[in-house]
Amino acid sequence: MQTPFETAAALKKTLSYHGHRYHTLDEPEIPDAEYDRLFRELQALEARHPELITPDSPTQRVGAEPLAGFGEVPHEVPMLSLGNAFSEQEIHEFDRRVVLRTAVPPENPEAGSEPVALRGEKQDKIAGTVAYVAEPKIDGVAVSLRYENGILVRGATRGDGTRGEDITRNVRTIGAVPLRLFGEDIPAVLEVRGEVYMEIAAFEGLNAGQRERGEKAFANPRNAAAGSLRQLDPAITADRPLTMFCYGVGAVEGELPDRHDRVLERLSRWGLRVSPEIEVVHGASGCLDYYHRIMERRVPRTANIPDDDPPSNSGTRADREPASRQPGALGYEIDGVVYKVNSLSDQAKLGRVARAPRWAIAHKFPAEEAITQIFDIQVQVGRTGAITPVARLKPVRVGGVTVTNATLHNQDEVERKDVRIGDTVVVRRAGDVIPEVARVLPDHRLPDAAPFQIPTRCPECRSDVVRAQGESAARCSGGLFCPAQRKQAVRHFAGRRAMDIEGLGERLVEQLVDEGLVRSVADLYRLDAPTLAGLERMGELSAQNLLKALEKSKSTTLARFLFALGIREVGEATAGNLADHFGSLERLQSASEEELQQAPDVGPIVARRIVSFFSQPHNRDIVRALQNPQIGMHWVDTPPAVNAAEALKPLAGQTFVITGTLSVMTREAAKHHLKALGAKVSGSVSGKTTYLIAGNEPGSKFAKAEKLGIPIMTEAAFLEKLEDPRTTPKSTKEA
């Protein structure tokens, strides 16, 4: 007779096996009723013996109490975004770059000479034989699953790529996510990356239920998946028909194959769900062939048919065969395909740029379009005062969502496309991109359609609208006095990558500004509990939580503070560079435009914006107020980047720019060597540039350097300089 422990172990093993057959392989071996009987038997056994409950038990897929909020999870290996391609030419260019950067170097090339004829592996790659793994780009939510000794211990969203939200309890409810991996040779630590999504048939069923209950239907499967995955109550997630495909790995402690396709095979063998549409293809032609085959199987959409469209000769909506059930259709929404270099050693050699790998690219499908009519054109005022014309549209379905507004970008675009109120237009939407008016259909233009002009006064504060020379955007001159800019400035200031003030959402910001409680970001720190608790949808607990978040935000970093101020052109990376270079706000505020340009990647325009920002009295007042002891915002100052030790380095005071492809080392490695010798490495050529290093196929920086008379050195000359930094290398013209 089996002990309770042995019975529970056998039931867990059986249920896990049949769950894998059902959710992952779509090949069930037993009826649903038999699975339910076994599940109830395990539940009853665990109820009698709670000590038998383990994290990998099939009964633990549904959590207990809802969470108050999601914790933050750092990604040991960043979850990178992908670069996009929209044309076949871009795929040929991607393939060519991969070939050049992974080819075997020529033997004994002469210093400074052009590459000799390629041989061996490099010739094969030039011939178009680079192997890629191609797969559909599923329109879902990227997640990371961490397994330790084969057991699921954590799930996280992508977040900003370096940090995500802890959604462990929610991913545990997804049937396609194994709580314990099967098989042998499982790494001690395995982070699996994949896409959580909702199949179209399941999405249609979910929306039908929503409508029956009088609840709001979801706009599209991706929104439904994202909303379901981010529920604070995991029981709600468990009730939603989510599934998952795995497409790669992150941190790994153990051995894996040396090819991406074999890694995916290994994941499948361990019980993880991998897309059956994945193929190994060769060269750009193989990629494009796969692209066209998958596009034919993409679920067709009827984006330009309104929900109230009357019956036609083709029948009503209900009469038509659902797209997800048409022969050959994939059954889930995709917005393109992804190509990844198959060789992991080549992936490592290619590296990455910013937040995207060089070894992968997303080939997006053509933007989806629909025809509708503009009934008005209004303007919106952005955080920086930019005045954006927005077309108000007759509602139309585009890309799975109902679109009522579309951006017209700026006055130049309005005039270039000759967009007028009353026009019939084509509206385009690609992925999550804001819908835009693609073109006008002039044959449908009304006789009285009048051209549109940006107003001369801001619709929010009646300040003058101005347009600087050389800029396409017109802007409100009201600054922080403009309510529209004030709201956006406060939202930006409170954002996660800025001051990270949890609980200060869009609606609350609207209330605080509209009721005159916040006229600048400094006023946030003057709020009190009774005032906050008296606001709509706020109570004592919410008020106290917000005050705690405000207090916590006072201890920050200079980089976050600079980014939070919302200075035009100063993004997160630039703010970090400025903080590292100057070390203190006082030094930064007193710097001239020329001194600011000594910071990495700070050019004349950015320098001008910074000087202009700190020259405004009201901006200085706000900064002083935030640092005033009554508020007490603080951070740790650091020494400026250029200190006495740095000044002694052989390349101190010199600025280098790199363009083209280097054959001996990556550009990242070249930057590392230059910085170690005291040089600055900039992303753009200017009069401050000391040398331009030109690799193979240099871009526009080469022409600009020639025009400015900047010395240009070949890769061979650059290598000579690394060996003896105090030498003056020959330029390309002298070499």
Residues involved in catalysis: 137
Q: At what angle do helices 604-615 and 617-627 cross, to 10 degrees?
A: 80
- What is the full DSSP assignment across 459-499? TTT-PBEE--TT-S-EEETTGGGSHHHHHHHHHHHHSTTTT
Amino acid found at 640 = P
- What is the full DSSP assignment across 238-285? HTS--EEEEEEEEEEES---SBHHHHHHHHHHTT--B-TT-EEEEHHH
Class of residue 478 by CB neighbours under 10 A (exposed 0-12, middle 13-18, buried 19+): buried
Q: Where does 583-652 have alpha helices with state H?
A: 585-589, 593-596, 604-615, 617-627, 644-647
Contact status, residue 435 vs residue 453, Cβ threshold 8 Å = no
Greatest Cα pair distance in the chain: 90
- What is the full DSSP assignment across 434-464? PPEEEEE-GGG--TT--B----SB-TTT-PB
Which two tokens mark 501?
Answer: 């003030």
Specify the pairing of strand 712-714 against strand 680-682: unpaired
The span from the CA of 671 to the CA of 331, in Å, is 46
The span from the CA of 382 to the CA of 182, in Å, is 52
The span from the CA of 370 to the CA of 438, in Å, is 10
Nearest to 681 by CA among 651, 709, 719: 651
At residue 656, φ and ψ (nearest 5 deg) are -115, 150
CA dihedral 297, 299, 302, 303 (to 10 degrees): -110
Which two tokens mark 478?
Answer: 């009201």
Task: Give the SS3 label for residue 675.
Answer: helix
C-beta atoms surrounding 497 within 10 Å: 15
What is the residue whose two structure tokens read 């991706």? 222
Task: Count Cα neighbours of 247 within 13 Å in the Cβ-side half-sphere.
Answer: 26
Class of residue 334 by CB neighbours under 10 A (exposed 0-12, middle 13-18, buried 19+): buried
Q: At what angle do helices 200-212 and 221-229 cross, to 10 degrees?
A: 70
How far apart, in Å, are the Cα atoms of 592 and each of 414, 530, 575, 607? 38, 45, 17, 8
- What is the full DSSP assignment across 12-45? HHHHHHHHHHHHTSS---S-HHHHHHHHHHHHHH
The span from the CA of 402 to the CA of 665, in Å, is 49
Query: Does residue 460 come out as left (phi exceeding 0), alpha (psi in the -120 to 50 range) or beta?
Result: alpha
